[in-house]
Amino acid sequence: MDRMHFVWELLSRQGGDATNYPDSARPELVNLMEAAPTRALELGCHKGAMGAAVKQRFPGLHYTGIEINPDTANIARSRIDEVLVEELLKLDTDAHAAFAQPFDAIMLADVLEHLYDPWATLVKLGRHLAPGGKVYASIPNVRNLALISELIKGNWTYQSAGLLDVTHIRFFTLRECRRMFAETGYVIEKIVSVRDPRVQLDGAFSAPVTIMDKAFSLHDVDAQTATELATLQFLFVLGRPTPEVPA
């Protein structure tokens, strides 16, 4: 029987992520889109579910996906306008016909953490973002209380999906997300916290509190820290700084 015995075997199985990841339309990210885009680009479009949802919401939109897995790319082609089976950093986007016009929406749904160089990727994408265009990104949060609790116990156990997806290369907290976006030329316009159902930190934080775990305690926790500890992933709406007009 063909089955995976260990989670790390996903790394040596060609296209393993194609069968592992859900075909999700990611409504929590799509719902952040307010202005109707005319040209959208998705990095890591998988089977095209999110692209199909965006096209349904904004009829007339031209949606381009980039997907390195040829099997899922073939499925995506039936749902969105164009799919490139390429690695973005190896693609000459300045000469490619799909990039002849800028995009006013770029979708990065849980993709940056899978890249060796997400910084170079963001810089390259920024060159193809139209003035006033937006980037919509989701990034898992490793400043997560459930993850920290396991780490204190000595566990950093990779899984087939989730915060410790075995194919994750980079790991981010909210502060490091802010740093990455600032260093690559983006302005954060909106941040949404997607709560982790495993972490129950509800209630009003009118003053710093102490959070008790079986193995440790965190003192002087304010409301912002509590929110980050209870977050599974952060959603971002990003823009580019408006060029200053000479006086």
161: domain CATH number is: 3.40.50.150
Q: Is residue 224 part of a domain?
A: no
Q: Is residue 160 part of a domain?
A: yes
Q: Is residue 247 part of a domain?
A: no
Q: Are 184 and 241 in contact (CB under 8 A)?
A: no
- Express each pLDDT in 136-156 by its tens digit: 999 999 999 999 999 999 999
Q: Is residue 47 part of a domain?
A: yes
- Overall pTM > 0.75: yes
- For residue 33, what are the domain limits? 7-197+232-239
Q: Is residue 146 part of a domain?
A: yes
d(CA 57, CA 49): 13
- Express each pLDDT in 50-101 by its tens digit: 999 999 999 999 999 999 999 999 999 999 999 999 999 999 999 999 999 9
For the chain, the average pLDDT equals 90
d(CA 179, CA 161): 25
DSSP-derived 3-state class of residue 17: helix
In the chain, how many domains are there? 1
Q: Is residue 42 part of a domain?
A: yes
Q: Is residue 51 part of a domain?
A: yes
Q: Is residue 210 part of a domain?
A: no
Q: Tell me which residues of the chain have a pLDDT lower than 70.
A: 1-4, 12-20, 202-206, 243-247
What are the φ and ψ backbone dihedral angles of 191, each rounded to 5 degrees? -130, 130
Q: CB atoms < 10 A from the CB of 230, how many?
A: 21
H or E element at residue 212: strand 209-212
- Please tell me what DSSP assigns to residue 192: E
